[in-house]
Structure formats: C-alpha cells, structure tokens
C-alpha cells in the first residue's frame, strides 16, 4: 500500500532535513497551491473528503469554507495546528512531528494560504521536546528558503509561523480552550457561536486543525481529490495513522488505508495478543471512545463505520484490554483522568465525573454496591452531548457507558465478591 504521511519517516527517527524533504517531492504542494486561488484549494479539500484527524472527524474543507474571505475579512487571520496530543492512548502526531517535521510546516503553509491567514502557530504539547526542537529547526530552514515569511516564494502571500509550547492541560486540546491558552489565559472553553472560523484567536477568524489533518493537505493539492479518495477503502478519504497499545505483541503505529478493519490492525500489524493473554475489548481511538468487543473486529476503522456500532474512530489509536487486566480498574483509571482534567465549568462534568471516579474506586476496592451501577448509568446520561459546554464530559462517559454494557458481569463480581477478582 502507498505510504503518504510516513514515507519519509526513518526507522531510527532521525531528522529529515529540508534537502531530504524536497528530494521526496516536499514543498511541491505549496508551489502548486500558490498558482491556485484559495477557493479552488478549499474546493479540492472538500471534494477529497478529508475529515479531521483530531478525533471529531469534521470535514476539513467545510470548516475552511466558513472563514470570511477577501478584503472585508478581519485581519490578521490565524491558523493553529493542534499538536497538543494529550488524549490518553494517542501517540500519532508525535511521530509525524519527530519523523517528518517539514511535512507539517508545508501543510500549515498551504492551509494558511487557503484561508488567507498570515499568522500560524503550532500549539505543541509541553512535554514534546524533540518535536519542538525539530519543528523549530524545520521552520528556520523553511524561512531561509522563503517557504515562510514575507512574500512566500516571491508571491503576494506572506505567513509567519511560531511554535507555542503548552503549559500542559487536556483542555488545551479542545479547540476553543486552545485559543484561550494561546492568548495566555486558562484553557477554559468558549461559547459557540461565534465559531472560531469567524471569531477565534484575539477575536479574528481562526482555523484550528489537527497535525495529521494538516499533513494531508499538500498531497491533496498536488495529486487531487480523486487520488486522495482512492487511497481509502471507504467514503472517508486518505490514509490513516492507526496505532495499538496494551498487551499486543507489537504495539506501534501504522499508516494504512482509511477503512482498514480492526482485525487487520490488531492481528496483522500489532501481531495479535501477547502469549498468555486473551483479547477482551478495545477503545478504538483513544480514551474518550466507547469500548468495542470481539463481535466488532471486522468493523472498518473509519468515521462512519465505527459510529454505526456505537463508538467513534476518535484518533484511530486503539487501546487494547486483555483478560488479565481488570476492566473496572481500567475505567477507574480513565475516569480519574477525566475528573482531574475537567475545567469545572459545568456541574454534570466536574461533580459527575468526580463522583464516578469515587464510585469506581469503591467498586474496584470491594466497597461497591449495586446502586452504584445505577448512579454510574445516570452520570453517563447527564454528561451526554448537549448537556455540557464542551466535549470533554460526553467523551469521558463513552468508555464508562460501554464498559457497563459489555463488562457488566465484571462489575457485578466486584460488588458480589467484595473485591477485585484480578487482585491476588
């Protein structure tokens, strides 16, 4: 299968400099983009069916078409690459930034051109030190060759690019939280509307886009929407960086056609389960997606198909649960994370999630009662989409509600036996 995003990534992850990147066709997307009208690029991206790789799957071209264009639009407009990657179990953007940083720089330059943005930030996770070093180096090289800065490659298009290192908090990855963080504030979310595309960073039109999403953009410009769609096995265009962690034989990341089945990823690429453990379930795309189980292994991993069986593609990096690991303990770990990262704005989220954490802790430690399970289901309901200000709470209850569905017996055993059956 054709590798697109990872074709330059070296096995030893050494730095791919500007020369090496150019030698593999790098910056051809930007060169071509500069000969096109921004509207043409947005149109091509729309036709490509590129959907956001940060977890939400929103059509990228549609989002760009919401940005006010032309002389009347507020200036400067902004582009922010969402490189916060704090979703537990997710480690794909790191690979793209460490393995081929120029690809992101080019993707951002093209995206900025398409929405006529003149300032672009990489909002980078504070712990990603190697990504920082490499992006700063790539950006400096790109400035030198006039891929960035004033009059890019002699055109009328100018763009400045900066790296912002995050102070560290899951909410920074939420698109409006990210805007507040970039403004030097706490990463609380903002009310929508107005949408960031119209009024975002410093009140100006802003597009926030995941790293992997942006990396795809130059190739769509170079090779066209039809080519991009042909990479995929399903309706959603392109390849996808899938991943697996947990007790599989070969945890890792693989770039595969969008729509590859869970079974292929798990059995062929991750090598199946480690000796001595059996598969029980998985979170298909990071901590805030619903569990899937054995019966779902033939589901195609794309936005539409995973949703049909009650979960989400999310970030596409799956977390595998095995039979030697306690599902209640796993959900407790997840809810501890979400409760800790709640910004405290909405009652269902901060009080519901901290209560869920306490109840799960009680159950895991043999102090739970059956009424606790009803309360947990109730919390899942009150945190449903629409009841809270941002998507943290709805995401938080996805693994919980599905664990209650698929691993109900294990919850009951904890309560009945007054202990965790997995603890000696």
Partner 1 sequence: MLSSEEREEIEREFAHYPTKEAVCIDAMKIVQRRRGWISDESLQDIAGLLGMSVDEVDGVASFYNLIFRKPVGRHVIMICDSVSCWIMGYEKLRTQLTSRLGIKMGETTPDGRFTLLPIVCLGACDHAPVMMIDNETHRDLDPEKIDAVLEKYT
Ligand X SMILES: Cc1cc2nc3c(=O)[nH]c(=O)nc-3n(C[C@H](O)[C@H](O)[C@H](O)COP(=O)(O)O)c2cc1C
Angle at 246 between CA 298 and CA 330, to 5 degrees: 100
**What is the C-alpha separation between 389 and 343, in angstroms, rounded?**
10
3-state helix, strand, coil in the chain (%, to 5): 45, 15, 40
Is-contact 220 103, C-beta < 8 A? no
If binding is defined by CB under 6 A, does position 56 make contact with ligand X?
A: yes
| Local structure of 343: helix, strand or coil | coil
Compute the distance between CA of residue 304 and CA of residue 359 in angstroms, rounded to an integer: 33
What number of chain residues touch ligand X (CB under 6 A)? Answer: 23
334, 339, 345, 347: CA torsion to nearest 10? 100
Q: What is the DSSP string of 86-149?
A: -STT--HHHHHHHH-HHHHHHHHHHHHHHHT-SEEEEEE-TT-HHHHHHHHHHHHHHHHTTSSB
**Residue 325 binds which one of partner 1, ligand SF4, ligand X, none, with CB within 5 to 8 A depending on kind?**
partner 1
Task: Work out whether 52 is an interface residue with ligand X (CB under 6 A).
Answer: yes
Q: Which of 212, 302, 341, 357 binds partner 1 (CB under 8 A)?
A: 341
- Which letter does DSSP use for residue 172 in this model? G
Q: Quick one: which segment of 65-73, 142-150, 205-213, 217-225 binds ligand X (CB under 6 A)?
A: 205-213
Which among 46-54, 100-108, 249-257, 355-363 is the span making contact with ligand X, rule CB under 6 A? 46-54
Strand 279-283 and strand 78-83: pairing? unpaired
Looking at beta carbons only, is 350 or 355 nearer to ligand SF4? Answer: 350
Under the binding rule (CB under 6 A), the answer on residue 315 touching ligand SF4 is: no
Residue among 119 and 266 whose Cβ is closer to ligand X: 119
Strands 78-83 and 252-257: unpaired
Q: Which does 345 bind (CB under 5 to 8 A by kind): ligand SF4, partner 1, ligand X, none?
A: ligand SF4
C-alpha torsion angle, residues 89, 175, 116, 143 (rounded to 10): -50
Interface with ligand SF4 in residues 388-417 (CB under 6 A): 388-390, 392-393
Comparison of 290 and 305: residue with beta carbon closer to partner 1: 290
Q: Does 346 participate in binding ligand SF4 (rule CB under 6 A)?
A: yes
Closest approach of Cβ 385 to ligand X, in Å?
11
- Taking the alpha carbons of 260, 262, 266, 272 in that order, is the dihedral positive or negative? negative
Binding-site member from 42, 45, 67, 84 for ligand X (CB under 6 A): 84
- Pick 250 or 381: Cβ nearer partner 1: 250
The residues, ordered by sequence, that sit 6+ positions from 143 with a Cβ below 8 Å of its Cβ are: 149
Q: Does 187 bind ligand SF4 (CB under 6 A)?
A: no
Regarding 337 and contact with ligand SF4 (CB under 6 A), the answer is: no
Nearer to ligand FES, 89 or 237 (CB): 89
Nearer to ligand SF4, 16 or 353 (CB): 353
Q: How far is the CB of 204 from ligand SF4 (least distance, A)?
A: 23
Q: Lay out the site mask for ligand X across 209-238 (x = CB under 6 A, - = otherwise).
A: xx--x-------------------------
Q: What is the Cα–Cα distance from 401 to 404, expressed in whole angstroms?
A: 5
Backbone angles phi, psi at 388, to 5 degrees: -130, 170
Residues engaged in binding ligand FES (CB under 6 A): 88-89
Helices 101-115 and 38-47 meet at what angle, rounded to 10?
A: 120
Q: CA 421, 423, 424: angle at the middle one, nearest 5?
A: 105
Q: How many residues bind ligand SF4 (CB under 6 A)?
A: 14
Residue 88: name its binding partner from ligand FES, ligand SF4, ligand X, none (Cβ under 5 to 8 Å by kind): ligand FES
Closer to partner 1 at the Cβ: 333 or 387? Answer: 333
The Cα–Cα gap between 141 and 135 comes to 10
Should residue 321 be labelled a site residue for partner 1 when binding is judged by CB under 8 A? yes
Q: Three-class SS of residue 381?
A: helix
The partner in contact with residue 393, picked from ligand SF4, ligand X, ligand FES, none with C-beta cut-offs of 5 to 8 angstroms by kind, is ligand SF4
Tell me which residues touch ligand SF4 (CB under 6 A). 171, 189, 342-346, 349-350, 388-390, 392-393
Tell me which residues touch partner 1 (CB under 8 A). 85-91, 93-94, 125-129, 160, 162, 164-170, 181-187, 202, 243-247, 251-253, 283, 287, 317, 319-322, 325, 329-330, 333-334, 336-337, 340-341
Tell me which residues touch ligand X (CB under 6 A). 52-56, 58, 82, 84-87, 170-171, 173-175, 208-210, 213, 390-392
């Amino acid at each position: 299968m054709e590798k697109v995003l990872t074709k330059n990534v070296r096995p030893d992850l050494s730095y791919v400099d500007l020369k090496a990147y150019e030698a593999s066709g790098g910056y051809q997307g930007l060169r071509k983009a500069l000969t096109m009208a921004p509207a043409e690029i947005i149109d091509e991206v729309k036709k490509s069916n590129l959907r956001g790789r940060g977890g939400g799957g929103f059509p990228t071209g549609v989002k760009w078409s919401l940005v006010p264009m032309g002389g009347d639009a507020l200036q400067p407009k902004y582009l922010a690459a969402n490189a916060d990657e704090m979703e537990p179990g997710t480690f794909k953007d790191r690979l793209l930034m460490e393995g081929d940083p120029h690809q992101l720089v080019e993707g951002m330059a093209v995206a900025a051109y398409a929405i006529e943005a003149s300032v672009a930030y990489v909002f980078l996770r504070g712990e990603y030190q190697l990504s920082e070093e490499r992006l700063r180096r790539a950006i400096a090289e790109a400035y030198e060759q006039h891929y960035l800065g004033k009059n890019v490659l002699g055109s009328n298009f100018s763009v400045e690019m900066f790296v912002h290192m995050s102070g560290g908090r899951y909410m920074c990855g939420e698109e409006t939280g990210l805007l507040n963080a970039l403004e030097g504030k706490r990463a609380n979310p903002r009310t929508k509307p107005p949408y960031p595309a119209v009024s975002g960073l410093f009140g100006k039109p802003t597009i926030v886009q995941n790293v992997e999403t942006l990396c795809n953009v130059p190739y769509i410009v170079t090779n066209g929407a039809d080519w991009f769609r042909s990479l995929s096995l399903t309706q959603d265009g392109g390849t996808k960086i899938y991943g697996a962690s947990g007790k599989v034989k070969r945890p890792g990341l693989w770039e595969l056609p969008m729509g590859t089945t869970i079974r292929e990823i798990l059995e062929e690429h991750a090598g199946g389960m480690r000796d001595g453990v059996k598969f029980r379930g998985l979170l298909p795309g990071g901590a805030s997606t619903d569990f899937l189980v054995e019966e779902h292994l033939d589901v195609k991993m794309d936005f539409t198909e995973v949703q049909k069986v009650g979960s989400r593609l999310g970030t596409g990096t799956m977390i595998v649960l095995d039979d030697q690991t306690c599902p209640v303990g796993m959900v407790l770990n997840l809810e501890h994370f979400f409760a800790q990262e709640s910004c405290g704005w909405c009652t269902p989220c901060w009080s519901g999630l901290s209560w869920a954490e306490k109840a799960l802790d009680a159950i895991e430690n043999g102090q739970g009662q059956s009424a606790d399970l009803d309360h947990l289901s109730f919390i899942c309901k009150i945190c449903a989409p629409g009841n809270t200000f941002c998507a943290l709470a709805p995401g938080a209850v996805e693994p919980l509600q599905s664990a209650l569905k698929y691993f109900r017996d294990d919850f009951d055993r904890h309560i009945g036996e007054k202990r965790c059956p997995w603890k000696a």
